[in-house]
Structure 1
Amino acid sequence: MDSAASEKSIIALDSWLQTPAGRYVLAWERSRLDALTADIFGYNALQIGMPQIDTLAASRMPHKWLADTLPGRTIETPAWPVALTLDPIELPFPSQSLDLVVLPHVLEYATEPHQVLREVERVLIPEGQLIICGFNPASLWGLRQLRGRVTGTRYLPRGEQISMPRMKDWLKLLNMSVSHSHFGCYAPACRTEHWLARYAFMDRAGERWWPYFGAVYLVQAIKRVKGMRLIGPAWSRKKAKSPVAVPATNKHKEHG
């Protein structure tokens, strides 16, 4: 996807997120991201793209930024203010400077998704974490999108849907270990709120009976560094090697 097509697709995604289906996706992602980011500790967190959602709302990190990928873009209801505008294939951060990076539907509309991942891996500290949101091609929405290529009526904005196995392969090549993955939004590709509500029961059934066919997925990965092993503080090791002796008088009292 060239840069012009990428910008058009991102703008189309902005409009799509205001539809009932878009709000349905944002609600599920916000709920799941709040649960994931609340348990990730560190100092510096970055969200790239999609100002419509605050993916770091539940994060307790002291420094959090939202970076937009389109200069001059105006969002009617941004979830939080944009701190900077950047090109995701060349991040303006030092190597090993961020504890957490969140990519909500960035790779699908990026000109060079592999380079985006390489840049994210570069700026993450060892054991730093990455969360990716994506549309699942192996779903009812994916089938609808595939049919739309023939009929010309796409359900989702034009972009490259990346399957979960393919995404895991990309991360593995960068020494990123997948720790968690989640699927959601099992309702069919409906355009009205009325029909999405009628199929709400499929969200409960889908998680149990066909969990890998949700329209949206989240992947959480950890940056691994070969030859590096995390150890506890020095004082804890000393304490383990030198146990405190119990006086003999206390031992007699315990036996008594």
Structure 2
Amino acid sequence: MPHILEFHGDPHQVLREVERVLIPDGQLIVTGFNPHSLWGLRRRLQSRRNEFPVSGNYISVQRLKDWLQLLSFEVDRGNFGCYAPPCNQEHWLKRWHFMEAAGDRWWSFAGGAYLLRAVKRVHGMRLIMPPWNRKKVPGKVLTAVTQKEFEQSGQ
């Protein structure tokens, strides 16, 4: 789901629908913009909120993990990226390039975008039936033997 939750009116409903249609042990991959990053700061400070990617409603990774846990998903992996501030000019991108290399090491939580992989977990149920319907294994059956038959058998 690439950036679906930020730009949909009801992200809870989207996740509930994904949980409904996904098979057990199915994987969900979510990408989104991090509100606790320089990109999120730009969104808060910018006066024009109608241009992409500022127009979305950013959801934090922690909140998304909580939502997924409520829907019986297990967050398997996650990663952040895009540590440099968002800018359009080439010389600014070159100037801020060092932040990409240092971002994973020094401020990994502050990446502009994130990617999460979650697995749908469904707990199985096994019925344990009472032993009423089990048939008993027949054992050795004792029969009456006459003295004459006993002597003939040689025992």
Common fold by TM > 0.5: yes
Aligned match of 1:140:
38
* 1:228 shift after superposition: 6.2
- 1:173 is matched with 70
With normalisation by structure 1, the TM-score equals 0.46
Q: Which residue of 1 aligns with 2:110?
A: 213
**Matched residue of 1:125: which SS?**
coil
Is 2:19 aligned against 1:115? no
The equivalent residue for 2:27 is 129
Structure with greater contact order relative to length (CA < 8 Å, sep ≥ 6):
2
Contact 1:155-1:189 within 8 A present in 2 as well: no
Change (3 A) 1:228 1:188: farther
| Aligned length in residues | 125
1:119 and 1:108 map into 2 onto residues whose CA distance is 16
Cα deviation, residue 201, structure 1: 1.5
Cα deviations across residues 121-156 of structure 1 (Å, max 9, x unaligned)?
Answer: 1111110000000000000110110112xx336673
Structure 1, residues 47-83: CA drift from partner, whole Å, max 9, x if none? xxxxxxxxxxxxxxxxxxxxxxxxxxxxxxxxxxxxx
- 1:227 is displaced (CA, Å) by 2.7
Residue ranges of structure 2 left out of the alignment (5+ in a row): 127-155
Alignment of 1:1-256 (within 5 A): 103-148=1-46, 151-152=47-48, 156-227=53-124
One-letter code aligned to 2:53:
L
Which residue number in structure 2 is paired with residue 65 of structure 1?
Answer: none
CA distance in 2 between partners of 1:158 and 1:144 (Å): 11
Q: Helix, strand or coil for the counterpart of 2:78?
A: strand
Name the amino acid aligned to 2:5: L
Offset at residue 194 of structure 1 (A): 2.7
What's the C-alpha RMSD, in Å, of the aligned pairs?
A: 1.8
The percentage of counterpart residues that share the same residue type is: 58
- Displacement after TM superposition at 1:206 (Å): 0.5
Runs of 4+ in 1 over 2 A off after TM superposition: 151-157
Match of 1:67 in 2: none
Note the residue ranges of structure 1 that are not aligned, 5 or more in a row.
1-102, 230-256
**TM-score normalised over the length of structure 2:** 0.75
